[in-house]
Amino acid sequence: MTDFVLKRMVALLLPFVQMFGLYVIFHGHLSPGGSFSGGIVTGLGLIAFSLVFGIERSEEKITERMTTLIESFGALWYGAMGLVGILRGTSFLMNKGSGISLGVPGKLYSGGLILLITLGVGLKVASTMVTLFTSLMEEED
Amino acid sequence: MAAAVKDNLPVLLIVTLLSSAYLLPILTRVRKFRLVEFFAVFVLALTFTGGVVLAYKVLATGAFNYIVGGWPAPWGIELTINALSGIFLLTIGLVTIPILLYASADLVEEVGSRQRAIWFLTLFLLLTAAASGLAVTGDMFNIFVFVEVATIASCAIVSARNDAASVEATFKYLMLATIGSGFVLLGIGFLYMLTGNLNLNFINMELSTTWHNYPTALWMAMSFFTVGFGVKSALFPLHVWLPDAHSTAITPASAVLSSLAVKGYIVALLKVFYLAVGAKIIFALPITNILLLLGMIAIIAGALFALSQDELKRRLAFSTVSQIGYIFLGIGLGTIQGLAGGLLHILSHGITKALLFLAAGTIVKRTGKTRISHLSGLGFEMPITFGVFAVGTLSMIGIPLFSGFVSKWQLLLGSLEKGNYLAVLVLIGGSLLAAAYLLPVLRVAFFQKSEEEQIREPEAPYVQKVAMLFLAVVIIFVGMFPGIFLELARQAAESLLGMEVLL
């Protein structure tokens, strides 16, 4: 695809799409949406880039190994956050009860571990979208 | 630290398995692949230890609940650990460890590349995690999640080899399993609509007072669950995907699918029936009679289909259809003795079928012969492989001193106690048919002279022999010292059926 208009539009929109996706992830506990919807928006931004600029260019930006790493990291991060409760002597995924400060209601940091957990899930969902897309693209051989 | 691990054991089992499954894909740079495989086996051994501890705790102090995240039951997630979980966790450990040990010998060669081998290990651990999850989960939502994880993992594991036959089998399996998931989801939706709860105990409490108001809706929900889990666990008329999927997959995949994956759905069905809906309501509906009938048909029809197959792995796959019938017969009897026999058969069929598939895979791999009639004279060439195959055969038929005898004997006692002589006949007929479809393999291998000159094939690698011998020892151990397993199965049946049915 060598369309000038398409390339300019995606180049212009991409930062905002990514920013919006990250916004939705980080505000999962405050506003509608969360790690799943935000992760998908972030992932779709990367997919739009590789659709318009070609899969080789996007491979230069994020290698397949990198997406696999992020994907595994997201899932492991979730498990690690769950273990915080156990390490503090309470049960798995325990948040306030295991002595984590909940922050000020309504502010960005207001859910204890929830912000960190949604970050992990968001990363996982975004990289899964990219991995799915690249494996479907490579299917043609 | 030790106390923290012990208190949180139920959730740690699942978390360990899932995290290790996600850790594996980033281990591609490890120079020695053997280390990765060793890590996977180590994780399974660790969780098996956890399972044994949980089973012991249940035997000693009875069932208990674990609350995730500190939110109590109707709001939060609850894990319920009872004797049913105990017996299934034991099965998972006893089956998966030898299978993965066996797989580690030639995994890269079997699936094509190191990348694919790592994916196989990931799927294997995901399947184990889903099965453990089904064993300990205490609410409908998590039952659905783990059922889905198990379905996707087992579909993908079938196509590990990526040849035409296994991809076709995967597609068939995927379609039917997805239809099954749809039925299960509808059933869950119905129960949620009736009770407003997803927690099994709360559904039970709600239904016990209000079910008279909605008998038809409840009946619908139960039939959705039966059909949905029936498709996934290959109950006879719904088994059509199983022979292809289990016979075309690579050896360790067929073993784990046949011995573990189909059982997880039966455990989920039992949880829905007896923990959520409750024995009293289940017996007011004709559902156990239907399961009893289908189980009996499955035993005979599966065995007859197995008899007509000449390909070794297909014969074993149809034998699974027949043996699943035994488990459903036990559930259908609806007595403590019968259900205990059915639950014990989950364990004894698991270890037996795993051993048979591993031995069959070794035979096919080493000699290149897939048909039983071509195996003549091979018995003395590969004494260990055919020796453990003989152990598996005797256990499958139900000869005393082997594990199959214990569970079939319990089922027989259960049918006699219920006065159901048709079931007694079917059980004995099923055993005779099992002898008829498995003994010829040994007869051909040991007592038939081969016409052609045999090329001396080396026996399986050391690790594979150890894995198969381990399973054979477990089968004989369960057959000779069944006490603790019987006790566990009995306690599970008692806690599931409750005190209402002491007839």
- Give the pLDDT band of residue B503 (cuts 50, 70, 90): very low
Chain A residues touching B12 at Cβ < 8 A: 86, 92
pLDDT (0 to 100) of residue A112: 80
Task: Please report the beta strands in B47-125, taking only residues with DSSP state E, as ranges in sequence order.
Answer: 64-68, 77-81
Contact between A91 and B7 using a beta-carbon 8 Å cutoff: yes
B157: nearest Cα among B234, B78, B249, B85: B249
DSSP-assigned states of every residue in B423-448: HHHHHHHHHHHHHHHHHHHHHHHHHS
Q: What percent of chain B has pLDDT over 90?
A: 61
pLDDT (0 to 100) of residue B472: 95
| Cα B323 to Cα B354: distance, rounded to the nearest angstrom | 13
Domain encompassing residue A27: 4-140
pLDDT exceeds 90 at position B306: yes
| Cα A76 to Cα A54: distance, rounded to the nearest angstrom | 31
pLDDT exceeds 80 at position B453: no
pTM, to two decimals: 0.93
Closest CB to B15: pick one of A65, A79, A96. A79
Q: How many domains would you assign to chain A?
A: 1
> Average pLDDT for residues B472-479, to the nearest whole number?
94
Q: What is the mean pLDDT of chain B?
A: 90
Query: How many residues are there in chain A?
Result: 141
Q: Could you state, in order of their start, the residue ranges of all structural domains in chain B?
A: 1-273, 286-503
| Cα B116 to Cα B160: distance, rounded to the nearest angstrom | 7
Please name every residue paired with B116 in a beta bridge, in sequence order, or none if there are none: none
B356: nearest Cα among B401, B319, B402, B411: B319
What contacts A37, CB < 8 A, 6 or more positions away? Answer: A24
B189 touches chain A (CB under 8 A): no
- Each residue's pLDDT tens digit, A14-67: 999 999 999 999 998 888 888 999 999 999 999 999 888 888 888 888 888 888
pLDDT (0 to 100) of residue B300: 95
pLDDT (0 to 100) of residue B451: 65
> Average pLDDT for residues B374-399, to the nearest whole number?
88
Q: H helices within A27-113, ranges in order? A: 35-53, 55-61, 64-87
Contact between B19 and A79 using a beta-carbon 8 Å cutoff: yes
- Each residue's pLDDT tens digit, B199-222: 998 999 888 888 888 888 999 999
- Range in A50-54, B153-157, B296-300 the model is least confident about: A50-54
- Range in A39-53, B309-323, B339-353, B437-451 the model is least confident about: B437-451
- Of chain A residues 76-135, which have a CB less than 8 A from chain B? 76, 79, 82-83, 85-87, 89-98
| Cα B232 to Cα B216: distance, rounded to the nearest angstrom | 24
Query: How many residues are there in chain B?
Result: 503
B4 touches chain A (CB under 8 A): yes
Contact between A91 and B18 using a beta-carbon 8 Å cutoff: no
Contact between A91 and B19 using a beta-carbon 8 Å cutoff: no
- Range in A114-123, B28-37, B174-183 the model is least confident about: B28-37
pLDDT exceeds 80 at position A1: no
How many Å lie between the alpha carbon of A63 and the closest alpha carbon of chain B? 13
Please name every residue paired with B137 in a beta bridge, in sequence order, or none if there are none: B79
- Each residue's pLDDT tens digit, B100-118: 999 988 888 888 888 889 9
- Each residue's pLDDT tens digit, A58-108: 888 888 888 889 999 999 999 999 888 888 878 888 887 777 778 788 888
- Each residue's pLDDT tens digit, B240-293: 999 989 888 999 999 999 999 999 999 999 999 999 988 888 888 889 999 999
Please name the helix (run of DSSP H) or strand (run of DSSP E) that holds residue B458, with its range, or none.
none
> Average pLDDT for residues B59-84, to the nearest whole number?
87
- Each residue's pLDDT tens digit, B314-340: 999 999 999 999 999 999 998 899 999
Q: What b/e readout covers B330-340, taking b as 16+ CB neighbours within 10 angstroms?
A: bbbbbbbbbbb
- Give the pLDDT band of residue A113 (cuts 50, 70, 90): confident
Q: What percent of chain B has pLDDT over 70?
A: 97
Contact between A72 and B7 using a beta-carbon 8 Å cutoff: no
- Largest alpha-carbon pair distance within chain A? 59
Please name the helix (run of DSSP H) or strand (run of DSSP E) that holds residue B115, with its range, or none.
helix B114-136
| Cα B89 to Cα B489: distance, rounded to the nearest angstrom | 12
Residue with tokens 């006490």: B483
pLDDT (0 to 100) of residue B208: 85
pLDDT (0 to 100) of residue B458: 67
Chain A residues touching B67 at Cβ < 8 A: 91
Chain A residues touching B43 at Cβ < 8 A: none
Contact between B68 and A95 using a beta-carbon 8 Å cutoff: no
What contacts B394, CB < 8 A, 6 or more positions away? Answer: B402, B404
> Average pLDDT for residues B434-457, to the nearest whole number?
80
pLDDT exceeds 50 at position B502: no
pLDDT (0 to 100) of residue B456: 60
B471: nearest Cα among B362, B374, B315, B311: B362
Residue B299, judged by CB atoms within 10 A of its CB (0-12, 13-18, 19+), counts as: buried
Q: How far apart are the first and last CA of chain A?
A: 20
